[in-house]
Amino acid sequence: MRSSVWARGVVVALAALLAVGAPYAVRAQTADTGRKTLEITVPEEGEYFVRFLPSSDARQPAQLPMRFLDRRTVVEYDLAEIGKKAQVAVDDVKTGNTAIRPLHGPGAPGAGGLDLRKTDFDHIRQVDIRVTYGGKPVKAAQVTLAGRSGAPVTRTVDPAKRGVATFEDVPVGRAKVTVVYGDKLTQSQDVDLVSDHPAGPVKVDVAVANSVPVLDEPGDRASDAGKTAGASTPTADSGAPRETVPASGGVVGWIGNLLGLLIAGGAIYLLYRWAKSGGMAATLQKAGIEVSGPTADTTSATPWSPAAPPPPVVADPSACQFCGQPKDASGRCACSDLPGAAGLSAAGAVGGGAGEPRLIGSVGVYAGAIFAVSSPTTIGRDPSNTIALSNDNTVSRRHATITPNGSECIVADEGSSNGVYVNGVRISGTHALKPGDEVQIGATRFRFEA
């Protein structure tokens, strides 16, 4: 009897504990999965946007970005809606960079919120890779960007995209760009993506080495659009009766009639002047027809003779054909003493006298630049090179060398990431250059002359 009483007491106590503990368990789960607030602090005031990047288990699509201008802002989110592995992204409009952090797990904001520093903005909001051949955008290509972290991302280029593949939230650092184009041709190159870049999207040019269909210039496309706009287009109510407009009706027909009258009047006036001068009478008399009226005056007529051509312009052999300055006794001028364009802009780089070996930019970043290679020359992105191509981030720090050897020049690839191409073919080791050869270094194509 006494044991049954104890059993009943234990059952009642356990039931009470379960009843009291159940609400706490529910509250803990709700607090972990319900709506939360997040305070975000940025390094300085400016224009920023907050985005939530949903994970694969999200129940709602991505929300619109939220704009704020102060150093602090508070946003709300629900992991049950955007996914347990969702991330928060803060975009700095001024720099074009982004800070990305997870909302749950390692690296997630703590109880004090998300306090961001400048070094936390280690992603680039948008990277545009433009694929060209001969300076024109290609019609179709497949572009893959592999950054320092995350899986490679592939974008497809079609005519509507004008040769541009767009990538978002790309981590800074070295990245590899691979382009598949034409008949399954592949070209790869490395690029350095840095956070210190001009505002807006980062633009990367990739000039493919082999011929591929390209798009026309905007002017040609506008002309084609005008032709298409003038074409007849069937409408949905094609079965309805239509009014037939005569070809000569309206303003167009009136202008056509006016032009016809002007042409007829001009022809009549020319016939009148011909008859007045006696030319018509002389022609009829030659045909054996007797006419009366004025005859053409042939006494003072002089046979026509073509004017003598102007004398040819002979260039002054004592002046340089590039800078116009006089040459000295050895044939050198002022531009012969300039270094291989170190410190000069791409459009104004000058070097090399007449007859000396030189590279002339034909297509790309340094189109129009002239670089002398009459002495051992190093080429690269580093300013210490003889020819410094600092404006092209596809050029390695020490990309190539050109060394004169008697009557020829030898180009060598110095272990560059994107290689050296001569007449469209990537070289390995050294290659002897001939006048007229096309040499591609980075995104610029040069013509070798000697």
- 3-state DSSP: the chain helix, strand, coil percent, rounded to 5? 20, 30, 45
**pLDDT in the model for residue 370:** 92
CB atoms within 10 A of CB 215: 16
Q: What percentage of the chain reaches a pLDDT higher than 90? A: 43
Single out the residue of 314, 328, 286, 282 nearest to residue 301, CA to CA: 282
Ranges of H-type helices in 34-94: 79-82
Residues 6 or more apart from 193 whose CB is under 8 A from it? Answer: 124, 127, 147, 170, 171, 172, 173, 174, 175, 202
Structure tokens at 374: 């009459």
Q: What is the pLDDT of residue 33?
A: 53
Give the pLDDT mean for 156-173.
93
Distance separating alpha carbons of residues 192 and 207, to the nearest angstrom: 17
What pLDDT score does 406 carry?
Answer: 80
Q: Would you state the pLDDT for residue 144?
A: 95
- Summarize pLDDT for 380-391 with one digit per residue, the tens: 999 999 999 999
**How many whole angstroms separate alpha carbon 282 and alpha carbon 255?**
38
Contacts for 303 with CB less than 8 Å, ≥ 6 apart: none
- Can you give the pLDDT at residue 60? 78
Please tell me the predicted confidence (pLDDT) of residue 234: 41
- What distance in Å separates the CA atoms of residue 85 and residue 56, rounded to the nearest whole number? 8
What single-letter amino acid sits at 313? V
> Which pLDDT does position 270 carry in this prediction?
87
Q: Which is more confident, 58 or 132?
A: 132
CA distance 289 to 294: 14
Residue 20 has pLDDT above 60, yes or no: no
209: Cα separation from own chain's centroid:
16
How many Å apart are CA 323 and CA 334, to the nearest integer? Answer: 8
What are the helix (H) ranges across 34-102?
79-82
Residue 73 confidence (pLDDT) above 70:
yes
In the structure encoding, which two tokens stand for residue 191, read together? 């690029």
pLDDT at 385: 95
DSSP state of 387: E
Instruction: Convert the pLDDT of each residue in 325-359 to its tens digit.
Output: 666 665 555 544 444 433 333 333 445 455 789 99
How much is the pLDDT for 331? 56
State the average pLDDT for the chain. Answer: 77
